[in-house]
Amino acid sequence: MVETITFKKVPPYPIMPNIVKLYISKSLDSEKIYNQLFFLSYSSCLDFHKLYTSNKHIGINFFSTQRKSKVILSNSLKRPTNVYLKKNVIHNEKQLAFYVGLALGLIPEVIRSDRNEHIKIHWKNILKSYKKYYKKEPYNEQYLTNTGFDFSSVMIYNPYYGSKNGKQTFVSKLYPYYEKVISIFKHFSYNDIKRINYMYCGNICRKENQCLHGGYFIKTCDGCRCPLGFIGNKCENIDSEFDKCSPKNNFLAYSFKKNLLIKNISRFCMYSIKSKKGRKVRITILNTKLSKTNSCDKGIGIEIKYGKDKAAKGLLLCNNYRNIKIPAISSEIYIIFSDYYPNNLLKLSYNEVK
């Protein structure tokens, strides 16, 4: 899947006002590749321009192959990045996004150096020839430290990638909840785009990033691009469209447990639970009921942002569950409840811990 790729250096692609030159073989569906790159022209300092002949110098070439799909990254202005794609990859949005991500210098989520905090690798289930794809990779650490492990990233493997016995090659620390939703994310996540910005645009804004809740500078450096649910020049506020659902949307956690019941939601709603400084919030999902299950891709689900990085996708619940214990990691937790039909509920308990 990632054969012959090296992660030693970010490809030296030009940034705006210059362009990254793209060549896409006529035997590939160029529109599908453009669809993966289109948003980057608006949300990063990269811009792309199509060529009708392949690049000989820095740029990206997409070729068709009948062999193994692979990416050979450029590390020189004198050489292009070459991407070789099988036809079945072009017709699989998530796989295509993965290879485009590799071509831009992103690394697979599973080989992050901090991956053991979030997943467990089952080495006994991995084919010997695939174990190299699960080796931790320290490259890009300066960019990854600004973003948390993200199960919504297009750079995360299928949990059965390289399996020799049909069993999962890795599981999340909150198995099986994350595994149920990995497949629905088919385009660059907020954090994927944020990492691309750090790699190529990080030196444009010559001032400290003061964006909150995982935000990052927009191209003009005079404001922040915010993750879903947050607004403000520094992403300091909850979007007012998200906090009109209940008389109270913000809660404080204490040492003793309290219960919170949210029900009959028919829009996007956001809630926060915060602890005192130096303490963390612990919650247990006691019961969930959605108007329709397995419909997170249609906007029906509950997201629990319990990690330190509020830009990373939280635990996404797309079914009805009981008794899910959420690790106490952060001093603040955000809950995004989204449904269209008011036949739903979320009941949880919360308290603060050291």
Is 147 a residue whose pLDDT tops 80?
A: yes
Tokens of 127: 């084919």
Pick the CATH number of 20-103 from 2.30.30.100, 3.40.390.10, 3.40.640.10, 2.40.160.150: 3.40.390.10
Say what the pTM is.
0.92
pLDDT confidence band for 7 (50 / 70 / 90): low
Task: Specify the pLDDT at position 56.
Answer: 96
Confidence band, pLDDT 50/70/90 cuts, at residue 42: confident
Q: Which fold has domain 109-197?
A: Collagenase (Catalytic Domain) (3.40.390)
pLDDT for 304 equals 98
Q: Does residue 235 carry a pLDDT above 90? A: yes
pLDDT digits (tens, 9 = 90+) for 160-200: 999 999 999 999 999 899 998 999 999 999 999 999 998 89
Q: Give the model confidence (pLDDT) of 240-266 as tens digits.
A: 888 888 889 999 999 999 999 999 999
> What separation in angstroms does the CA of 93 have from each of 154, 180, 194, 213, 257?
9, 18, 20, 29, 44
Query: Mean pLDDT over all residues of the chain?
Result: 92
Looking at residue 143, its pLDDT comes to 66
- Domain extents in the chain: 20-103, 109-197, 208-237, 250-353
CATH number for the domain formed by residue range(s) 208-237: 2.10.25
Check residue 203 and give its pLDDT.
84
Query: What pLDDT does residue 4 have?
Result: 45
Would the pLDDT of 17 be above 60?
yes
Pairing of strands 237-238, 345-353: unpaired
Question: Tell me: the pLDDT tens digits for 217-228?
Answer: 988 888 999 999
Fold match, 109-197 / 208-237 = no
| pLDDT for 1 | 53
Residue-wise DSSP of 97-147 = HHHHHHHTT---GGG-TTGGGTEEE-GGGB-GGGGGGGS---TTHHHHTTS
What is the mean predicted confidence (pLDDT) over 301-328? 96
Which pLDDT does position 262 carry in this prediction?
96
> How far is residue 210 from each of residues 121, 159, 228, 306, 307, measured CA to CA in Å?
35, 36, 18, 21, 19
- Would you identify the CATH topology of the domain 250-353? Jelly Rolls (2.60.120)
Residue in 263, 228, 278 with CA at minimum distance from that of residue 348? 263
Q: What average pLDDT score do residues 109-136 get?
A: 94
- Report whether 23 contacts 43 (CB < 8 A): no
